[in-house]
Amino acid sequence: MQIRGSRVLLTGATGGLGHAIARSLAAEGATLVLTGRRAEVLEPLAEELGAVAVAADLSRREDVDRLASDHADVDVVVHNAALPASGPLESYAVDELDRALEVDLRAPLVLTRLLVPAMRGRGRGHVVFISSMSAKVPTADASLYAAAKAGLRGFAQGLRPELAPHGIGVSVVFPGFIRDAGMFADTGVTLPPGVGTNTPQEVADAVVRVIARDEGERSVAPLGVRAGGLVNAIRPGLLGRLAARLGGSRVGSEMAAAQRTKR
């Protein structure tokens, strides 16, 4: 997919990862449509990059429909918006659970469904889902988040061969713990010794790469974390028990407490 000259819709553009992805895509020559809930953050970024700013709340189904109808001409959509969705399942009211699934899973699926017909008509396009290493290595106090992010992976894996004959690529990027900006960085939680992090720019670079090279999946995490994904696929649950012994439970509970107000 040629990024230069393409029109890209980026959700979740007001967050730290969104800023990095937007700037990297703009540097590659894309024309951007940036969406997010906070117009006061979105509009300065859009002005900087010569982009279109669209305030939207993806927990509102009418906003998802509006994005699709108003911007059906996009060549690429990058689904970056997400709620943290951390904490024990029983700590969630049902309406909080519904909102997390609306933003983290339903909105990307429905927005893709609504944008794909126009892409298919043009014979070109690309869909990128920002998932998480939580989809490959779920941990305690993040079951809801892991479910949504794993759902994106399954959807993308099925959709990729479905859309390939129509000239449309489908990719998933799996960030691990990201420092400096983003959900994890905002919590201020410290990781156990030996657990590494990556930068927002590395995630942005991965987004550019999967579009340009039509890669199905790319993980943005240290080698040990990526290897953990492979181990978990073979022996589900093993890493969860190991993580609990090494302080993973503390990380999960501290992150859940720090993100409680974002449900």
Render 60-123 in DSSP notation, one character per residue: SHHHHHHHHHHTTT-SEEEE-------S-GGGS-HHHHHHHHIIIIIHHHHHHHHHHHHHHHHT
pLDDT at 252 > cutoff 80:
no
- Superfamily assignment of 7-262 in CATH? NAD(P)-binding Rossmann-like Domain (3.40.50.720)
pLDDT tens, position by position, 107-127: 999 999 999 999 999 999 999
Edge-first strand listing for the sheet containing 7-10: 52-55, 31-36, 7-10, 76-79, 125-130, 168-175, 217-220
Q: What are phi and psi of 159, to 5 degrees?
A: -75, -30
Percent of the chain at pLDDT exceeding 70: 94
The pTM is what? 0.90
pLDDT at residue 247, as a whole number: 55
For the chain, the average pLDDT equals 91
Find the mean pLDDT for residues 149-158: 97
pLDDT at residue 161, as a whole number: 98
Find the mean pLDDT for residues 8-32: 96
pLDDT at residue 232, as a whole number: 77
Local structure of 165: helix, strand or coil: helix
pLDDT at 235 > cutoff 90:
no
pLDDT tens, position by position, 90-107: 999 999 999 999 999 999
Percent of the chain at pLDDT exceeding 90: 69
Please report how many Cα atoms fall inside a 13 Å half-sphere around the Cα of residue 253, on the Cβ side: 6
Asked about 145 being catalytic, the answer comes back as yes
Query: Active site residue: 79, 82, 128, 145, which one?
Result: 145
Rounded Cα gap, residues 213 and 216, in angstroms: 9
Lowest mean pLDDT among 58-62, 64-68, 84-88: 84-88
**How confident is residue 250, by pLDDT bands cut at 50, 70 and 90?**
confident
Domain residue ranges in the chain: 7-262
Lowest mean pLDDT among 27-31, 174-178, 203-207: 174-178
